Amino acid sequence: MINRLLSGDRPRSRLLAGVLALILIGLAFAPFLFPGTKSLDTAARICIFIVLAASYDLLLGYTGVVSFAHTMFFGIGAYGTALALSSLGPSFTAIVLGTAGGTAIAAALALAIGLFSLRVKAIFFAMVTLAVASAFAVLVSQLSGLTGGEDGLTYKIPRALGPAFKLMDGKIFGVRINGRLLCYYLVFFSALVLFLGLLRVVNSPFGRTLKAVRDNAFRAEAIGYRVVWYRTTATVLSAAVAALAGALLAIWIRYTGPATTLSMEIMIDILLMVVIGGMGTMYGAVIGATLFILAQTYLQTLMASAEHATEALPLIPLLVAPERWLLWLGMLFILSVYFFPDGVVGRLRSRR
């Protein structure tokens, strides 16, 4: 059963399987295991970024295509849902329409970019995506009448997904069973389904062909594969899934703006998640996204307590001051890339 859900692509390392099971259990029971608004928000972000990083891995790790437009597709999905919710009002119809619309636009744009630029050298595709994504970000911030510009859009989501909606009186394990909880599970199960869907795609005949294209596009052509179409299909698929992840984010945080969806910073984050987790493994996206979001959220807290603990010592409190968290995050990344060139997953699998 589990093997079928994973499309036969097992973790192939006991330790990795253990870590993945831990992450799955942690996310599945997050509202009960880690009560509190902040931790639930972190769990939902992890779910969303797992999907986002996994969809990027389809492109980077499996197809060998470097794209800088992944946050653009993420943003298109988020803005699609956000615009529908703010113009049509907080209804499930708006969510469905906005998500479908955003995903369709993202896929169409990816198709256009792919057919236009995947025929030529890989570096050209990377540059085109960078240019298109930058132009899109500028466009969104300039079209403030529609998108709210830099301020972004704030809107309401259906009442059934909000904290005011109570499914039952009282609590279970000290947790209120309300719309917010429902919303979390919407995010969690959507992310789970999307991830398992991607896992199936990479283990399909199509996914195997992508690996061949990545390994040796020249030879893949010579045995009859139309490389451009494979690369383009992978780009479209990856864009559509990124847009769906964007829609989930829009629903979860009830706000959509350039900083949360379109920024180059997020693009770099996704890239690092995939590289640190391990390219071309899918599970790497799970590990990478989880580590990254946890570090982003809790490193400052951790450092603040470290600063307090070392108050009496010279120099050390200065180094561990919370405002230096980016420095430490950077160090962690350099070390992890240095010691795990194949990512965490590659390292765990080779240890077996």
Partner 1 sequence: MAIEAPVLTTQDLTIRFGGHVAVDQVSCAFERGTLTAIVGPNGAGKTTYFNLISGQLRAYSGTVTLNGEDITRLGVPERCDRGIGRAFQLTNLFPTLSVRENVRLVVQAQARRGFDLFSRADSHIELIERAEHVLAEVHLLDQADQPVSALPHGDQRKLEVAMMIALAPQVLMFDEPTAGMSVDEVPVILDLIRELKNDRDRTILLVEHKMDVIRSLADRIIVLHNGQLVADGDPAEVMKSPIVQEAYLGNAPEDGQEAPAKSASEEVARG
Q: Taking the complex as a whole, how short is the minimal distance between the CB of residue 89 and partner 1, in angstroms? A: 36
Question: Looking at 12-20, 182-190, 201-209, 334-342, which segment touches partner 1 (CB under 8 A)?
Answer: 201-209
Residues 19, 262: Cα–Cα separation, whole Å:
30
Q: Taking the complex as a whole, how short is the minimal distance between the CB of residue 1 and partner 1, in angstroms? A: 15
Question: Looking at 181-189, 197-205, 304-312, 318-326, which segment touches partner 1 (CB under 8 A)?
Answer: 197-205
Q: Taking the complex as a whole, how short is the minimal distance between the CB of residue 39 and partner 1, in angstroms? A: 36
Residues 11, 234: Cα–Cα separation, whole Å:
23
**Do the Cβ atoms of 110 and 236 come closer than 8 Å?**
yes
Q: Which amino acid is at 293?
A: I
Our CB check for partner 1 shows the closer of 176 and 211 to be 211
Our CB check for partner 1 shows the closer of 116 and 165 to be 116
User: Alpha helices, DSSP H only, in the chain?
Assistant: 2-5, 14-28, 30-33, 37-57, 70-88, 92-117, 122-142, 144-147, 179-202, 205-215, 217-222, 227-253, 258-261, 264-277, 283-309, 316-319, 325-339, 343-351
Q: Taking the complex as a whole, how short is the minimal distance between the CB of residue 345 and partner 1, in angstroms? A: 15
Q: Is the dihedral of CA 18, 273, 337, 66 positive or negative?
A: positive
Question: Looking at 153-161, 200-208, 312-320, 325-333, which segment touches partner 1 (CB under 8 A)?
Answer: 200-208
Residues 178, 158: Cα–Cα separation, whole Å:
13
Residues 157, 28: Cα–Cα separation, whole Å:
23
Residues 290, 197: Cα–Cα separation, whole Å:
19
Our CB check for partner 1 shows the closer of 249 and 275 to be 275
Cβ count near 191 (within 10 Å):
23
Within 202-261, the residues that bind partner 1 by CB under 8 A are: 203-209, 211-212, 215-216, 218-227, 229-230, 233, 237
Sort strands 153-154 and 166-172 into parallel, antiparallel or unpaired.
unpaired
Our CB check for partner 1 shows the closer of 41 and 342 to be 342
Q: Taking the complex as a whole, how short is the minimal distance between the CB of residue 109 and partner 1, in angstroms? A: 20
Q: Taking the complex as a whole, how short is the minimal distance between the CB of residue 337 and partner 1, in angstroms? A: 19
Query: Residue 8 burial (CB < 10 Å; 0-12/13-18/19+)?
Result: exposed
Q: Taking the complex as a whole, how short is the minimal distance between the CB of residue 285 and partner 1, in angstroms? A: 19
Our CB check for partner 1 shows the closer of 168 and 222 to be 222
Phi/psi for 162 (5° steps) reads -105, 165
| Residue of the chain from 176, 200, 254, 324 that contacts partner 1 (CB under 8 A) | 200
Q: Taking the complex as a whole, how short is the minimal distance between the CB of residue 121 and partner 1, in angstroms? A: 13
Within 117-156, the residues that bind partner 1 by CB under 8 A are: none
Our CB check for partner 1 shows the closer of 239 and 291 to be 239
Our CB check for partner 1 shows the closer of 218 and 339 to be 218
Tokens of 125: 């595709």
Number of residues that bind partner 1 (CB under 8 A): 29
Our CB check for partner 1 shows the closer of 171 and 226 to be 226
Q: What residues make contact with partner 1 under the rule CB under 8 A?
A: 7-8, 200-201, 203-209, 211-212, 215-216, 218-227, 229-230, 233, 237
